[in-house]
């Protein structure tokens, strides 16, 4: 059954008015009609099975037939990603969402791309949010990862509160496996640099904020690949990679 994320307020009642990207996809891409059933999600765990009552290119209405809550068994993982060049950040967001990352913080470092003006930043954030939403829909995640605004490194570090904090840095030879605790940590923050990595001063600043510097062995991974590798390791060790999937709790 086709799945779509909608604003949480839209699922508050017995009927749903569809708009924006879900409406376009249903009417133009899938060309569904009245009577078709879809799953609508609020991105916070609530899932509604709905029947389309009316649908055209301008408007659509659906009736809620059943609703429930799904919980993910993922480890709460926040990726603080040094913004890479070009469209590589889009790949980070897409694949990171598929791998179960719960929140993304784009980080501006001394080796990141240059700053952009507020208007372009707003457009970029909207595009990034659409990529996350589509990846979550495609990978059947009930929760929509959070996307933070782009932050300078010092501000991102100051706002970090996760219990286990890791920084991937080629200047550190301690292996990742050596610092992972036996019981699952309550939450993890992973800091990954852009092309060229972090400067020694930035790595030292991160460690001053409680980040443990680790490496991934003899190979140096690309900026957009490193976060995937760690997310997969943590997801297999502590999360739901290889498990039965999300838990389902009926609510009506």
Are 155 and 218 found together in one domain? yes
Q: Which helix (H) or strand (E) holds 136?
A: helix 118-138
**Residue 45: which CATH number?**
2.40.240.20
Of 71, 95, 118, which residue is a domain's last? Answer: 71
Q: Looking at the domain assignment, is residue 246 inside a domain?
A: no
pLDDT tens digit at each of 252 positions of the chain: 999 999 999 999 999 999 888 888 888 888 888 999 999 999 999 999 999 999 988 889 999 999 999 988 888 999 999 998 888 999 999 999 999 999 999 999 998 876 677 888 899 999 999 999 999 999 999 999 999 999 999 999 999 999 999 999 887 778 999 999 999 999 999 999 998 889 999 999 999 999 999 988 887 888 899 999 999 999 999 987 766 555 666 665
Are 65 and 102 found together in one domain? no
Are 175 and 51 found together in one domain? no
Q: Looking at the domain assignment, is residue 40 inside a domain?
A: yes
Q: Looking at the domain assignment, is residue 160 inside a domain?
A: yes
pLDDT of residue 247: 61
Are 98 and 64 found together in one domain? no
pLDDT of residue 150: 93
Are 43 and 105 found together in one domain? no
Q: Looking at the domain assignment, is residue 247 inside a domain?
A: no
pLDDT of residue 51: 96
**Residue 108: which CATH number?**
3.40.1280.10
Q: Looking at the domain assignment, is residue 250 inside a domain?
A: no
pTM here is 0.89
Q: What is the DSSP letter of 226?
A: H
Cβ proximity of 82 and 192 under 8 Å? yes
Q: Which helix (H) or strand (E) holds 125?
A: helix 118-138
Are 163 and 105 found together in one domain? yes
pLDDT of residue 170: 80
Total structural domains within the chain: 2
Q: Could you tell me the two tokens for 86?
A: 């070009």
Are 55 and 86 found together in one domain? no
Domain containing 100 equals: 77-238
Give CA–CA dist 143/46, Å, rounded: 9
Are 26 and 104 found together in one domain? no
pLDDT of residue 240: 78
Q: Could you tell me the two tokens for 184?
A: 């699952």
């Amino acid at each position: 059954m086709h799945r779509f994320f909608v604003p949480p307020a839209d699922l508050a009642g017995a009927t749903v008015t569809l708009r924006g990207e879900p409406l376009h996809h249903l009417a133009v891409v899938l060309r569904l009609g009245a009577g078709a059933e879809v799953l609508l999600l609020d991105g916070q765990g609530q899932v509604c099975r709905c029947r389309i009552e009316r649908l055209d290119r301008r408007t659509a209405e659906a009736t809620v037939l059943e609703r429930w809550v799904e919980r993910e068994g993922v480890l709460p993982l926040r990726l603080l990603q040094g913004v890479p060049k070009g469209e590589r950040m889009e790949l980070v967001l897409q694949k990171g969402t598929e791998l179960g990352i719960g929140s993304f913080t784009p980080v501006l470092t001394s080796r990141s791309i240059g700053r952009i003006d507020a208007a372009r930043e707003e457009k970029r954030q909207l595009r990034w949010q659409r990529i996350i939403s589509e990846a979550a829909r495609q990978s059947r995640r009930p929760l929509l990862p959070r996307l933070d605004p782009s932050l300078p490194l010092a501000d991102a570090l100051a706002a970090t509160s996760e219990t286990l904090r890791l920084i991937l840095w080629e200047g550190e030879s301690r292996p990742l496996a050596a610092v992972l605790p036996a019981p699952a940590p309550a939450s993890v923050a992973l800091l990954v640099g852009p092309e060229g990595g972090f400067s020694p001063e930035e790595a030292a600043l991160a460690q001053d904020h409680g980040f443990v510097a680790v490496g991934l062995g003899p190979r140096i991974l690309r900026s957009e690949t490193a976060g995937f590798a760690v997310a997969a390791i943590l997801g297999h060790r502590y999360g739901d990679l290889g498990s039965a999937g999300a838990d389902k709790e009926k609510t009506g």
